[in-house]
């Protein structure tokens, strides 16, 4: 007698209690699962869009007393910029001593821009690029420029409102 023939009746009963035939899900189950998964994926996508990276961050930014955000002039490089993620603002310095500020929210899909490089503000979500001079779209799917903000010099700081 070999090992394969030494199965007792209790073992057979326990395996026969389970219906091994595959059951197809109903159309309703598939639609619900797709909807839930789609909402979950969309939520992850929005969370990814809301972050900032690269030259972003708001380590040197602070809330101003008059409802604006401040940043040190020294933190905004000439020909570049600084993303203030908490305030959702990007401050640029296209030429020495000339400061501009724009919304850091991309006009394409609402993502927060992620970096400033080579004279452009770059959105990591879908590749839109904006000019550091005026916020205009230089490439990508964004349909409109970044809205301008008001920048006021206050000593060694800039106030953005």
Per-residue pLDDT tens for 82-114?
999 899 999 999 999 999 999 999 999 999 999
CB within 8 Å of 152: residues ≥ 6 apart: 68, 158, 159, 160, 161
Per-residue pLDDT tens for 5-18?
444 444 444 444 44
Nearest partner of 54 among 105, 115, 113, judged by Cα: 115
- pLDDT at 68 (0 to 100): 85
In a domain, 38, yes or no: no
* Calpha distance 69→150 (Å, rounded): 11
Look up residue 23 and give its two tokens.
């059951």
Predicted TM-score of the model (pTM):
0.61
CB within 8 Å of 118: residues ≥ 6 apart: none
In a domain, 90, yes or no: yes
In a domain, 3, yes or no: no
Q: CB atoms < 10 A from the CB of 147, how many?
A: 11
Number of domains in the chain: 1
In a domain, 15, yes or no: no
In a domain, 110, yes or no: yes
Per-residue pLDDT tens for 15-67?
444 455 555 666 665 555 554 444 444 443 433 443 333 343 333 444 444 56
In a domain, 107, yes or no: yes
In a domain, 151, yes or no: yes
Place of tokens 């090992």: 3
Provide the domain limits for residue 115: 62-160
In a domain, 47, yes or no: no
Domain of residue 142, CATH code: 2.102.10.10
């Amino acid at each position: 007698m070999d090992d394969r023939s030494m199965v007792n009746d209790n073992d057979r009963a326990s395996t026969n209690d389970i219906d091994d035939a595959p059951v197809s899900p109903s159309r309703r189950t598939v639609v619900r699962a797709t909807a839930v998964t789609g909402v979950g994926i969309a939520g992850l996508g929005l969370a990814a869009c809301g972050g900032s990276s690269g030259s972003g961050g708001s380590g040197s930014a602070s809330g101003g007393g008059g409802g604006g955000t401040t940043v040190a002039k020294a933190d905004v490089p000439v020909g570049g910029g600084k993303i203030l993620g908490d305030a959702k603002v990007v401050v640029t310095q296209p030429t020495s001593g000339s400061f501009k500020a724009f919304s850091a929210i991309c006009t394409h899909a609402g993502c927060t821009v992620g970096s400033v490089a080579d004279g452009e503000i770059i959105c990591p979500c879908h590749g839109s690029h904006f000019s550091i001079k005026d916020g205009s779209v230089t490439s990508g799917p964004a349909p409109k420029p970044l809205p301008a903000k008001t920048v006021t010099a206050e000593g060694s700081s800039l106030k953005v409102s």
